[in-house]
Structure 1
Amino acid sequence: MRERVAALLARSRDRSTTLTDLDDAELSTQHSPLMSPLVWDLAHIGSQEELWLVRDVGGREPLRPEIDGLYDAFQHSRSSRVGLPLLGPAEARQYVGEVREKALDALHRSPLRGRPLEHEGFAFGMIVQHEQQHDETMLATHQLRSGGPVLDAPAPGRPAAPVDPAAQVLVPAGPFEVGTSAEPWALDNERPAHTVDLPAFRIDAYPVTNGRYREFVEAGGYDDPRFWTEAGWAHRVAEGLTAPRFWSRDAGGAWWRRRFGVLERVPMDEPVVHVSFHEARAFATWAGRRLPTEAEWEKAARFDPATGRSRRFPWGDDEPTAAHANLGQRHLQPAPVGAYPAGASVLGVHQLLGDVWEWCDSGWHPYPGFRMFPYPEYSEVFFGGDYTVLRGGSFGTDPAAIRATFRNWDHPVRRQIFAGFRLAADAHPGHDH
């Protein structure tokens, strides 16, 4: 376990280094009021690692107690952080390096059992996931920055055979187990495992593609309030939304997108990305469908009808590989639908993990029997707020930071995140088409 933890910590830091391999001005600039300067994220990663692994697990004296408040996400909004007396890029790099040295010493000394924080390396797993989550946030900041490309990655593979992007799968009625009580690094909001009984429903075999979404745009979906909720329509009008974020249309009617500094034609067979919950729900209404609930999404991803068991991942219990899903920033875009047949669930639902986070029609609430651990600011303080659940991770989510039980949440207006969606429908005859 020590070797595995050390390797995951190193992988996270390699990614953080790649994302912050910019000149000082780029690192210290606020590229969008929605996001922190990249140099804040870098030092915040070190601050959290120091708090949990150096001070708590390691029992060491604080390195830089005077900066704790600067990197407390609850003390300062993202838009205000650029004005704080932050560590400069060189100082931030030195700080995270010193913290890591002491964290690895704590890893060497920890029994990795006993108290809950250290049992099976939980604190180390939490910090790996925390850094990877901030790496995905920094990747979103890169998408928002102006100027030419500074990141590079190969394009994802293509499916071996054509697929029907509108295909649906029937998920049978009955009980199944949601959440987990056994996954050692699962976070508090994924716990405890509990039974949910759902009626039968249909769910898209693939996320909604750019091509399907373009039909909604070109049919006037953004101009017709009938398809939108009251809150969604108010937001669409206030923000002047006319298409997914980063899309534009040329004089000849062709659609283009800006992706990490590159302007390119919108690939119609990729999952749509950078749409808000309001846009996803409006599309679903226009299409005569709905979005899946969070429980429906998880059942489609985990339920094995042959055994009645809930799997760790759609394909089974084995950790994700490059054949299963588009994860880990190996590519800088979603893969075409149908590109990962090895990652399909036993029911035949594809690309549930990776590519794009998927909006679910569920608010952010604790599971029955929820117990906060190890701090309320990870999940508890957000419950019941203006948040909508997202599931499944994106191309920017690391395999260490995603499971079929993993729960994410954000405001329903958010579009800078790597979010898309798939559709669902009731299985009764009135909707069975």
Structure 2
Amino acid sequence: MPTTDAPDDQRLRSRIVAELTRTRDRTVALTEAVDDADLVRQHSALMSPLVWDLAHVGNQEELWLVRDVGGREPLRHDIDDLYDAFKQPRRDRPALPLLPPAEARRYVAEVRDKVHDLLEQVRFTDRPLVADGFAFGMIVQHEQQHDETMLATHQLRDGAPVLTAPPPPEPTARVADEVLVPAGPFTMGTSTDPWALDNERPAHTVELPAYVIDAAPVTNGAYRAFVADGGYDDPRWWTEAGWRHRTEAGLAAPLHWRRDGDGWAYRRFGRWSAVRDDEPVVHVGFHEARAYATWAGRRLPTEAEWEKAARFDPVTGRSRRYPWGDEDPGPEHANLGQRHLWPAPVGAYPAGASPLGVHQLIGDVWEWTSSPFRGHPGFAAFPYREYSQVFFGDDHRVLRGGSFGTDRAACRGTFRNWDYPIRRQIFSGFRCARDATEAEACG
């Protein structure tokens, strides 16, 4: 029998249903856009076949919601190992006995039916996994993260274009070159956001000296100047590891760029268009971002510097959930959720600027920081070590802010992403920072 809900629980159930439905609609759109042959094909050794991602999100939903939260018997215990991301490297997944497309679709639908049944009965107790609907929010975010991964697979696939979306809005604001962030403490991370993941927790105070950060992500035009100046051919701008990778991989420009007469063209989901100078550069790795920053006489911001620029309100001294405030992102705030299929030009989202005047911190492109991935002071793995803790260390660099392919459910001012420094297939860009001069710091 359904539970008798308090009004707050009724609202939470309604929110969970809406988020699960909205997320699944996106998954279906990404997997139905291609035929079954494309679904089972591996378009890049860096990525899974789309059909693996499809069944994987269903398997995670079964593991956490049907079995753990609901206490129900397994639907398909036999496929757990096939869809374990730690046991099955991406390059090997095409050779596995994966569920065929039709069977994968039936499986994820059956899992979702079970979830809707248990959602009517589950009680949101103080048990951490179900408090405030956390497990359901975790699954929504997990599926949205895989939706962005599948979007990246679409960007890598050959063949006729299958995805369409309107272009992002044109600029409506003039954006400064850089912004001074004053010295002092700010609150980093969160202890109160109910669906925040373990690596965003707990809230803690960080003291930073004054610094200067770009008011917008580095644009194609600025990056083209680096390319034209021989930036990819001069080891002075690269770290030893970065130069070694540049040489071994033969890097000469961002991924998906090619020469087009005297300029450059960029392939966007199967369509070629001229590189537009006022859009944030995308598909560059950490090594490229750091080389550009060195060439420009700057550096990449630390993760704490990025978050303070994004969240700190100098009037109140508090940290906001988003640069514009605490309300969820709307289409006026940021380029999120695959509404558009490439970054918006600088100045397109003035309503999303931070109190300090830093623009487009959320959406458009994931932004590389200089920081290796670590837990916040007081970090506790929850609900499993494999979400975050196993990735801590110097091998991964933190990215912040989300991209045009990131959903609002998986993006906020505290949300943390991470990847290997060589990764370029993700929707990644960057902005630069520098230490404030003494005169700047003193005002």
TM-score above 0.5: yes
Per the alignment, residue 61 of structure 2 pairs with 49
Are 2:204 and 1:191 equivalent residues in the alignment? no
Distance (whole Å) between structure 1 residues aligned to residue 116 and residue 124 of structure 2: 13
Q: Which moved further from structure 2: 102-111 or 217-226?
A: 102-111
Q: What aligned pairs does 1:210-221 form with structure 2 within 5 A after superposition?
A: 210-221=220-231
Question: Any unmatched runs of 5+ in structure 2?
Answer: 1-11
Which residue among 342, 357, 369 is the counterpart of 1:360?
369
Q: Secondary structure at the match of 1:20?
A: helix
Alignment partner, residue 26 of structure 1: 38
Unaligned runs of 5+ in 1: none
Structure 2 counterpart of 1:20, one-letter code: T
2:153 to 132, 141, 162: 141
Match of 2:234 among 220, 224, 236: 224
Deviation at 1:392, TM superposition (A): 0.3
Q: Deviations over 1:300-331 (max 9, x none)?
A: 00001111101100001111100000000000
**Is 2:259 aligned against 1:249?**
yes
* Superposition TM-score, scaled by structure 1 size: 0.98
SS at 1:49 equivalent: helix
Residue 8 of structure 1 aligns to a residue whose secondary structure is helix
Q: 1:242 to 1:34 in 2, by over 3 A?
A: same
Q: How does 1:32-431 map to 2 (within 5 A)?
A: 32-163=44-175, 167-250=177-260, 252-429=261-438
Q: State the Cα distance separating 1:114 from its structure 2 match.
A: 2.1
Tell me the TM-score normalized by structure 2: 0.96
Asked if residue 6 in structure 1 is aligned to residue 17 in structure 2, the reply is yes
Contact 2:175 2:216 in 1 (8 A): no
SS at match of 2:390: helix
* Identity among equivalent pairs (%): 71
Q: How far apart, in 2, do the equivalents of 1:381 and 1:370 lie?
A: 13
One-letter amino acid matched to 2:227: V
Q: Which amino acid aligns with 1:400?
A: A
Give the aligned residue type for 2:187: E
DSSP-derived class of the 1:141 partner: helix
Q: C-alpha separation between the residues in 1 aligned to 2:69 and 2:172?
A: 48
Task: Deviation per CA, 1:81-138: give whole Å up to 9, x if none.
Answer: 0000000000000000000000111211111232000000000000000000000000
- Inter-partner Cα distance in structure 2 for 1:98 and 1:384: 38
CA distance in 2, matches of 1:161, 1:194: 34
| Matched residue type, 1:219 | D
Partners of 1:414 and 1:372 in 2: CA distance: 25
Q: CA RMSD in A?
A: 1.1
Q: Secondary structure at the match of 2:113?
A: helix
What are the Cα deviations for residues 277-316 of structure 1, in whole angstroms up to 9, with x where unaligned? 0000000000000010000000000001111101100001
Rounded Cα–Cα distance in structure 1 between residues aligned with 2:272 and 2:401: 27
- The answer (yes or no) to whether the contact 1:178–1:299 under 8 Å persists in 2 is yes
The whole-number CA distance in structure 2 between the counterparts of 1:358 and 1:258 is: 20
Q: Please say if residues 425 and 431 of structure 1, whose CA atoms lie closer than 8 Å, have aligned partners that are also in contact.
A: no
